[in-house]
Chains A and B, each alone.
Chain A
């Protein structure tokens, strides 16, 4: 019974942790949109703009990756079951 409760709570927690994907989605979309605007205005700078945008996207993505890692740990390497 306790194990079932812990497993269910872990699954719910994993789902909640994956909500962290919303933030990076909005942020990266905004960054890419701004980069497209800039390239439209200054096509000769497209190389530098694209490079900077990818770096910014990767940095913005990290919070989503943290959430994903927590979800994966809860699903596949659950540390809570060992504490029962």
Chain B
């Protein structure tokens, strides 16, 4: 019993459809979406103004948190972005925390985080064009002097790349380190002469608090905050 060698791979391909690989990331993403949707439908079921139930109060509290977060960092004119921020945050944190159930985290796949970062990128460009106009947006690349245009283009493209790689890298390194730890603990058990990997009980759970809980929460928070900061600075509140 136990691992004989370190085996670190990407997400497994579950089946193929029309020549496209359907990986476990896709399946688990849809499971996460279904769970979140079910939870939301459950919490907002039978809402009442005069006699709110406990679940309605919890739902209102969550909405209040996100509204305050968006209002603080983006200003009250950008409140319509709140649903997107809440969606990204909930999806990211649930997608990372399914690793507590022994499943492969959805965010440990670069496709997932890249897709989110590209959505954010389109939103940033949309906000900039809405603020400055298309001409103003394009002229903005030549500021402060025209020689810096390539650098400005690179820094524009670097935003989604760095956001997605940061999130993916944190979660994926957690996966790799957990696997290496299981391997090392199994080797220690074998070195003592035990057939059963006794050390793999309990010890990984302590590290899981950092690599799964803390990193998952932190990266979800950081991704959301960076999205808010970028979109908010692209469409600032008009000064009075």
Contact = CB atoms under 8 A, between A and B. Distances in A.
**What is the interface residue range for chain B against chain A?**
10 to 19
Contacts of B172: 69, 72
B203 to A, nearest CB: 22
Interface residues of A, number: 13
B165 A62 contact: yes
Contact of B170 (A65, A76, A77): A65
Nearest to B168: A69
A55 B226 contact: yes
Nearest to B179: A76
In this complex, the member of A54, A55, A66, A77 whose beta carbon has the largest number of chain B beta carbons within 10 angstroms is: A55
Q: Is the interface of A mostly helix, strand, loop or mixed?
A: helix
B8 A62 contact: no
B166 A54 contact: no
B162 A62 contact: yes
A28 interface: no
Interface string B170-202: 101100100000000000000000000000000
Given A62-B162, A72-B176, A76-B8, A54 B222 contact: yes
B169 interface: yes
21 contacts: A54-B218, A54-B221, A54-B222, A55-B222, A55-B229, A58-B218, A58-B219, A58-B222, A59-B166, A61-B170, A62-B162, A62-B166, A65-B166, A65-B173, A66-B165, A68-B173, A69-B169, A69-B172, A72-B172, A72-B173, A76-B6
Interface of B: 6, 8, 10, 162, 165-166, 169-170, 172-173, 176, 218-219, 221-222, 225-226, 229
Given A55-B222, A62-B169, A66-B165, 13 more contacts: A54-B218, A55-B225, A55-B226, A55-B229, A58-B218, A58-B219, A61-B170, A62-B162, A62-B165, A65-B165, A65-B169, A72-B176, A76-B8
